[in-house]
Structure 1
């Protein structure tokens, strides 16, 4: 039997998938709404020159689903969604195209709240916001994502017998874009021993100089000898190739969809590697954005973001009591919040 887009939407529990083409600007865009049980779907606007429309769709579906779980596990009153623009952000992006994207998003009547992601900036979101509301263009969530990851790493250290002190702990930050660079700075301030990598060697060198880190080859960073691997780039880090070669005892980072497939959670558990579910440990940015939407001040936002560590500790403990990996425990807690009352 042929597997169709409708099969994929139904099997994944998606509410809606919208496809849009604007002839005047050449915009080819998708908005995927996964679940709005808890509130409007907040998600990124990712612009990439995907190799195919199917690749763009699959990326958006995975990210939308991850946002639902992230919001639910973090105790937020938000749903999960994502938007994908097919195109090269350097060559194809224009004000007209972004405004066309805004008009497309406006057709959802506030059910989708966009935020910047790979290939888009806060300035781009401000342009999109000239045609639709609300949008998240006020305040960069990256530092808060990094702060939540820091507290998550602390929780993992405690769960593996430590006291949460990062001094002398070797952490490999894979990817030093906005989130990874912010995390590296926080870790350096805590006295961690840092390894950093990035596909952009100049960016890796600049961050390393700033925090006193050692640069490692991005091709081998995932399997670097370290206490904590902090993936902060694209997903699929744990896969058939990397799993047997991992030399860390904790995986906790800012990237989404770190596991190439769900079954790797049990495989990591079997290897004695504590995996902090990505949708739990990187929820700081989303928490910050909800605080922004609620018009709360920065102090309140930081207080809530620091609770990422407490929530992760509870997930790890729940998993141990139930005899399941942390990912399964986190999914159970998230699904409980999403269950119709």
Structure 2
């Protein structure tokens, strides 16, 4: 049975209050995510199952890549009084429905916050936006640590009671540094890693430990200007739109499934520094959206693409 109460780390009373209010509101709420071959009757079968268990569906979204031969994706959010007492029975009984439709599926208790770690380098604008949204209760997560290859962000997170780990990274120490990082993530049972302008390329060994659980913000509207210094290259190209892309990290640099993107118009008057200034605002909002959707179980992936039920 899923735990009925989740202990957050020692943090400021204001943050604690916001998170506990969310936890109480979500106590009897759960989410069901499904992917399977498309065929008639899926929605009816799932809805009927939940009705028979006494659940009330509060949100339902679905998408088919091709109704005749494609894949079907579904996200249902529902409430069931005294959910914890029914959890094992609920999930066990649904397995029979899932077998009938060849589903890949999972139930998640909404009140159980995902344990999140944020990686950052020197630029803190994305980290600051994540912290602000988290403190206000708009990002429902247990923020268990901030990790950086520079010491700068330590003073930012210390007043919030968030553990900060400074792990320098050089070409010679990269392997050992990643081993320390992975050990920290494992010891804190981290569910999601957010790269908030963490200016290091993670190794394939690292990425494979967290498939579709590492979100990066790239300061470019991918697939344009992959890699480093995209604003300088965008300026040289004379672009009229700049943007940012949040995506899941894969072993292929900046080519993982895209979660969210946004753009803003620029013109010939804007220098490289102007593009960077405008881009910072886009980056912080795009990253927060992607993280929020992941925390709320709104994302399904297939074929290096995402289905995002907003």
Q: Same fold (TM over 0.5)?
A: no
Q: TM-score, normalised by structure 1?
A: 0.34
Q: TM-score, normalised by structure 2?
A: 0.37
Larger radius of gyration: 2
Which structure: greater helix fraction? 1
Which structure: greater strand fraction? 2
